[in-house]
Amino acid sequence: MPMDPRHAILFEPVRIGPKTLPNRFYQVPHASGFGTRRPRAQAAFRGVRAEGGWGGVCVEYAPVSPDSDEIPAVAANIWADGDGPALALTAAAIHAHGALAGLELVHGGAGSANGSSRLPRIAPSQAASGVQWGGLAKEMTRDDIGRVQRDWVSAARRACDAGFDIVYVYGAHGYLLSQFFSPQTNHRTDGYGGSLANRGRFWLETLAAVRDKVGGECAIATRVTVHGDPGVPGAAGLPGIEVEEMLALVAMADELVDLWDVTVGAWPDDSGTSRYFPEGHQRPWTHRVREATAKPVVAVGRYTSPDLMAEIIRTGAVDLIGSARQAIADPFLPRKVAEGRLDEIRECTGSNICILREETFRQIGCAQNATAGEEYRRGWHPEIFGPTSDDRPVLVVGGGPAGMECAVVLGKRGFTAVHLAEAQAELGGRLRWIRRLPTLGDWGRIVDWRRVQLSQLTAVQVITGCRLTRRDVLQYGASVVVVATGSSWRGDGVQPGHPAPMPGADSRAPHVLTPEQVCAGQRPPGRRVIVYDTDGYFMGPALAELLAAEGFDVTVATVYPVLSPVSDETLEGETLRAHLHRAGVGVCHGVTVTAVDSSAVHGVDRYGDPWTAECDGVVLVTQQVSQDALYRELTADPSALEQAGIAAVHLVGDAVAPRLISEAVFDGHRLGREIDRADAGLPALWRSERPNPAGPAPRR
Amino acid sequence: MPMDPRHAILFEPVRIGPKTLPNRFYQVPHASGFGTRRPRAQAAFRGVRAEGGWGGVCVEYAPVSPDSDEIPAVAANIWADGDGPALALTAAAIHAHGALAGLELVHGGAGSANGSSRLPRIAPSQAASGVQWGGLAKEMTRDDIGRVQRDWVSAARRACDAGFDIVYVYGAHGYLLSQFFSPQTNHRTDGYGGSLANRGRFWLETLAAVRDKVGGECAIATRVTVHGDPGVPGAAGLPGIEVEEMLALVAMADELVDLWDVTVGAWPDDSGTSRYFPEGHQRPWTHRVREATAKPVVAVGRYTSPDLMAEIIRTGAVDLIGSARQAIADPFLPRKVAEGRLDEIRECTGSNICILREETFRQIGCAQNATAGEEYRRGWHPEIFGPTSDDRPVLVVGGGPAGMECAVVLGKRGFTAVHLAEAQAELGGRLRWIRRLPTLGDWGRIVDWRRVQLSQLTAVQVITGCRLTRRDVLQYGASVVVVATGSSWRGDGVQPGHPAPMPGADSRAPHVLTPEQVCAGQRPPGRRVIVYDTDGYFMGPALAELLAAEGFDVTVATVYPVLSPVSDETLEGETLRAHLHRAGVGVCHGVTVTAVDSSAVHGVDRYGDPWTAECDGVVLVTQQVSQDALYRELTADPSALEQAGIAAVHLVGDAVAPRLISEAVFDGHRLGREIDRADAGLPALWRSERPNPAGPAPRR
């Protein structure tokens, strides 16, 4: 289909300094988990974004000095000459598709982990870091200032030599440049502290030095943060920089900068999840920067709609559509827009699973796009599916995330007869009801995208409202069966570390409820409810919010010292806890419930001392259990399978083991890709990237 | 000096299966942070332990299957053929010094992170992991059981081929074999669950299969855990295995095993810190295993004394002295014993900094031995110091950990005139008083070892009770000055995120105390004391314990959701919190104190709501400040330095930036090694190990 003319504006080239971006789609710097540690994975990951049409593709943070070492996180270190070749591979992969390659040159200052280098952190003033424990930072001497600036210039030189078109003098997210600029972290009394001009001096000098060295060859970008809401403290250690001060810096630095990259608020706000932040919440503030400069401006906003993107460009709020999460979820968004294939756009759910994986030091992953990060290692392309000559009919039982994903992949691979059978009247598995919980609506995009894909795949037939028994499956006529029957919450109080059912916990009783029962409309017999949470993620808080909104007096009792610790890894923790507090939900921390009755829950506190709370009902968010009975019944009788002509039965998703939804999608995808391998139940061994233990020692 | 004849028993060879250990010193498997990711660093680290006389040297956990992927932790993966060469380098480095090389073949089961592989965890029964969040484990099918056993055999074959002499069928620390053996995690109803014989079947079958494959070439070791105190739950997810059941397993498996490696209790107990566990607390329980087998037995006990080691061997409690932490702290302990150089033994402090670094995904480090982990990367040998031709006189000002370490290194390198000047009457810096706090006595070993070394280095002169002014330093006659003047706790309430002094916080007032003041004997004017802790490690709890023991009514108010979160990384967290609770210390979690007066502290709770606690005094464990005035005074006047003949002034340790003591020692060591470089203020660039981004793709 042709492009919608309204979207043509998105495909205009944009000049930035000595370079020209081929269009307005710009993948801003974001972590991948590859850094320079896995050069081939990095190159393939970024190369696919360029192939998908992003006109600018940036690599994650590239520390310019060894005292900005990010270990245990994986960064694209560029402080040594030996780092160049790894990054050159990525620049070449981006160039192969006509995009410009950008590199986020950065110094983390007080926020550097220095877990490998063991060097002291450095900062404008001796201070604790908001994001690192274990010691204060060293107050930088004038020698340190000059040394870091020289390091930045050397790094820019290496980046240019490695083929990058855009180099950052990166100041956002509370890194060293911001630490100098903020009066909250800069208490110097020399020429680098005090007045706005003094606090901006380190930034401006660095920009000038980098421009002096590589300005003719590379575009110079700088990323700034403005605080959108002055009342909101920087949740991730970001110093408070008021927008007026930042605009003054923009004016001072404008002639040194080819591209302004603008973030708003602390990282948990700028990369806020769909649960708590609308798309484009940053616009009022980025617009202020737009007014202060004639240079191109880029900003993110978790935009998924090309209509909205085009409108934003037309209003002049920004010149480029910045994206991290949407480019992870759908690297081919620009090409789909260009080709008018809008219903194929895989919209980001805004759940920040990508960030959870980075924050827990894993490689990148995505709830929507199972291929993210697997481009090199497993050879997965987001839009190209290894075709199959296998034309065996496949029956997928269960239309939740794993089953839908598997059926989509099978359909795209060219399997000729795929049936997806779902017991309920609609597809979606547990997302059918999770998406209706407070704040969780956008998670439904996982279902929606797959439902549209399935509707377009003629080889895949979807049957809903049809619960298949073992006998049904044997008679179905399939040669390969995929069981994706999901999981459910336990109603017996079994919880981590307590494998036996809990006395009094029985979800057949009116005062004991599972999440499914609550979502199906069951309510406790009285006003006072305890939500007992050993899960630690979204379910307990969402149910508590639902019940509180209905007027119940809700307390979450959690085994953890904070409510929903997993949400800290998705950057939601502080927001979620404040949100629940405002909703009137109480929290008891560090308690383990070991028995329930119709008027109370009983257990122990964090010291093992007895603890009791009166209530009229309890919601058990304790542990799930795989619903794999069908799989067990089928595989228990191999001869029946043989007689039925069923060559293989596979189990995927939460029916294997209840996990994050992203992992269920991954599991379904993996099986779809590999179902025609001899040993399809196990994944094919992926490609590793190892240092060569033989031969000469590597370059420093 | 000759060996003490009492120690000769430690140097007897011990036969294990087809191999013979040259002596009884055995470095048990422990993490290094190198795994197979940094093969040269791994080889150099282990090779130095062999060089130092450990007769057996083992590499850390080597997962046999991709669903035992430990990412984000770094393991010595051996599930693919491409993994062999990296490990062969290490085996060769161990053999070069006549030691036997061991490899910890393991499957983590439900405790596997699978952060890279994204595979489901597997376990005997579907269950939550005690150590991993984000999903339950898959209940293993019979196919899974057979597959893991085949993986184990393949891994053993690769290990043998790579040159290892000892392969583990590793069951301790709650890994998969233990998960099968424990009725708490194994609820199977097939032949692998139920009776003791059934629960042990997976273990025994695996042992038999590995022995069948490599038993003639390699010794087969197995590591088991017995619960010492049945009343203590496994703090790190270890299932409860009673000693009687384990002894039955030992009897059943004895003919399949060449070496029994015994751990006691959960990891936080077996690797318990000196704060809460005496040396050798495991002995009563390991002795039980010793009685149940005729095969050699090894166990750890954080032993540092060769007299005690020899006695333990003589009593027959074990056959080999197992060590992880002491071998990190002093790789040359065996050779020092053999050569009668007992006062050179660098005793482990038992502070578990090594484990903190591993638990936070860094490479190994040690509070006592700055060279640990730096053998390849920085080329540091624990006993050999790059000699110098630099004979400039050096003055080290400040005899804390950093200054002492620097002076020791300078002395060992052959500097001819080193003076170490300490203002106080005794060496030690802040460890002088920290070592006197409850539970922290063994940390004093950092001072003691260096004091003995300094007393033996004739080129180093130690002057105590002598506080040098700028003028004194200029007149001293030194060419190089090292300022190691440490840090102190602030008395003004400045804390992380709050750079301005706190209203009412003034340690000149009787009701406001710093840690130093408490340790110097100052006490609050009344009985009720708040210890306000934003530090999060040992200081707040130790002061609280001290004051509670004196009868004060003590509450720790902490900004963190748990007391002393850093202690969780040293495995002390749960023990510390129970210890303080028993001592009668109360805790207020998640509060930020923003003002103090003579009758209360005032602040906000975790939601920002007002919070107040009445008290008669407050101890501020908020933030430290570097004591670098001398350095600033000296460097402010370069011409005076020139006139005085002082070519360089360096700052090290907490005077640069207050950090963990291990980092101050590291800093002093680093400067001592590199002080004669042109740019000695900055560390020399170390060797990296990178995948080669060019050339053919690596082997799978």
- Out of 3.30.2350.10, 3.50.50.60, 1.25.40.10, 3.40.1190.20, select the CATH number for domain A490-624: 3.50.50.60
Question: Nearest CB to B607: which of A121, A581, A590?
Answer: A581
Tell me whether A508 touches chain B (CB under 8 Å): no
Question: pLDDT for B357-402, tens place per residue?
Answer: 999 999 999 999 999 999 999 999 999 998 999 999 999 999 999 9
- The tokens for B373 are 């982990």
Question: Nearest CB to B691: which of A125, A626, A690?
Answer: A690
Hey, are the CB atoms on A120 and B657 less than 8 Å from each other?
yes
In the A/B pair of chains, how many CB contacts fall below 8 A?
233
Hey, are the CB atoms on B66 and A607 less than 8 Å from each other?
no
Q: What is the CATH number of domain A5-117+146-361?
A: 3.20.20.70
What is the predicted pLDDT for the residue at A235? 33
- The tokens for B537 are 């490690």
Q: What's the gap in Å between the CA of A307 and the closest CA on chain B?
A: 35
Confidence of residue B228 (pLDDT cuts 50, 70, 90): low
Confidence of residue A143 (pLDDT cuts 50, 70, 90): very high
Confidence of residue B79 (pLDDT cuts 50, 70, 90): very high
pLDDT at B237 over 80: no
Best mutation target among B126, B139, B621, B634 (most A Cβ atoms within 10 Å) is B126
Closest CA to A214 of A16, A13, A18: A18
Tell me whether B352 touches chain A (CB under 8 Å): no
CB burial string A93-119: b at 16+ within 10 A, e below: bbbebebbbbbbbbbbbbbbbbbbbbb
Hey, are the CB atoms on A659 and B82 less than 8 Å from each other?
no
What is the predicted pLDDT for the residue at A698? 65
Exposed, middle or buried, B639 (CB in 10 Å: 0-12/13-18/19+)? exposed
Question: Nearest CB to B120: which of A72, A129, A657?
Answer: A657
What residues of chain B lie within 8 A of the CB of A625, using their CB?
126
Is A537 an active-site residue? Answer: no
Exposed, middle or buried, A440 (CB in 10 Å: 0-12/13-18/19+)? buried
Exposed, middle or buried, A614 (CB in 10 Å: 0-12/13-18/19+)? exposed
CA gap B90, B60 in Å, rounded: 11
Question: pLDDT for A146-183, tens place per residue?
Answer: 999 999 999 999 999 999 999 999 999 889 999 999 99
Average pLDDT, chain A: 95
pLDDT at A237 over 70: no
Across residues B665-690, what is the average pLDDT? 95
Question: pLDDT for B137-183, tens place per residue?
Answer: 999 999 999 999 999 999 999 999 999 999 999 999 889 999 999 99
pLDDT at B676 over 80: yes
Hey, are the CB atoms on B693 and A89 less than 8 Å from each other?
yes
Closest CA to A424 of A463, A458, A380, A460: A463
What is the predicted pLDDT for the residue at A236? 33
Closest CA to B328 of B359, B295, B353, B298: B353
Tell me whether B610 touches chain A (CB under 8 Å): no
Question: Nearest CB to A689: which of B139, B635, B698?
Answer: B698
Q: Taking CA A434 as the corner, what is the angle to CA A431 and CA A438, rounded to the nearest 5 degrees?
A: 145
Rg (chain A; Cα; Å): 27
What is the predicted pLDDT for the residue at B189? 97
Question: pLDDT for B458-494, tens place per residue?
Answer: 999 999 999 999 999 999 999 999 999 999 999 999 9
Nearest chain A residue (CA) to B635:
A141
Confidence of residue B287 (pLDDT cuts 50, 70, 90): confident
Nearest chain A residue (CA) to B88:
A693
Which residues are paired to B322 by β-bridges? B26
Tell me whether B154 touches chain A (CB under 8 Å): no
Across residues B344-367, what is the average pLDDT? 97
pLDDT at A241 over 80: no
Confidence of residue B240 (pLDDT cuts 50, 70, 90): low
Question: pLDDT for A639-666, tens place per residue?
Answer: 999 999 999 999 999 999 999 999 999 9
3-state secondary structure A632-644: HHHHCCHHHHHHC
Confidence of residue A232 (pLDDT cuts 50, 70, 90): very low
Question: pLDDT for A547-556, tens place per residue?
Answer: 999 999 999 9
Exposed, middle or buried, B315 (CB in 10 Å: 0-12/13-18/19+)? exposed
What is the predicted pLDDT for the residue at B1? 82
pLDDT at B235 over 60: no
Say which residue the tokens 């000196």 belong to.
B274
A 10 A CB-CB count for B252 gives 16
Which residues are paired to A595 by β-bridges? A602
Best mutation target among A32, A65, A132, A133 (most B Cβ atoms within 10 Å) is A133
Report the range of poorest mean pLDDT among A251-260, B125-134, B282-291, B691-700: B691-700
Class of domain A394-486+627-674: alpha beta
What is the predicted pLDDT for the residue at A239? 54
Tell me whether A347 touches chain B (CB under 8 Å): no
Question: Nearest CB to B561: which of A116, A125, A589?
Answer: A589
Which residues are paired to A259 by β-bridges? A221
Interface list for A 195-214 with B (CB within 8 A): none
Tell me whether B186 touches chain A (CB under 8 Å): no
Across residues A588-606, what is the average pLDDT? 98
Q: Return the domain boundaries, chain A.
A: 5-117+146-361, 394-486+627-674, 490-624
Question: pLDDT for A77-104, tens place per residue?
Answer: 999 999 999 999 999 999 999 999 999 9
Crossing angle for the helix pair B401-413 and B445-456, nearest 10 degrees? Answer: 30
- The tokens for B421 are 């000047």
CA gap A496, B135 in Å, rounded: 11
Across residues A23-43, what is the average pLDDT? 97
What is the predicted pLDDT for the residue at A234? 38
Q: Taking CA A357 as the corner, what is the angle to CA B79 and CA B145, rounded to the nearest 5 degrees?
A: 30
pLDDT at A40 over 90: yes
Nearest chain B residue (CA) to A140:
B656
pLDDT at B230 over 90: no
Closest CA to B480 of B339, B278, B641: B641
CA gap A300, A501 in Å, rounded: 48
Confidence of residue A362 (pLDDT cuts 50, 70, 90): very high
CA gap A79, B685 in Å, rounded: 10
What is the predicted pLDDT for the residue at A228? 63
Tell me whether A657 touches chain B (CB under 8 Å): yes
Q: Taking CA B650 as the corner, what is the angle to CA B645 and CA B656, rounded to the nearest 5 degrees?
A: 150
Catalytic residues of B: 175
What residues of chain B lie within 8 A of the CB of A694, using their CB?
85, 89
Strand ranges in A40-94 using DSSP code E only, listed in sequence order? 56-63
What residues of chain B lie within 8 A of the CB of A36, using their CB?
690
Question: pLDDT for A198-227, tens place per residue?
Answer: 999 999 999 999 999 999 999 999 999 887
Confidence of residue A692 (pLDDT cuts 50, 70, 90): confident
Which secondary-structure segment (H or E) carries B39?
helix B39-51
CA gap A592, A265 in Å, rounded: 37
What residues of chain B lie within 8 A of the CB of A578, using their CB?
607-608
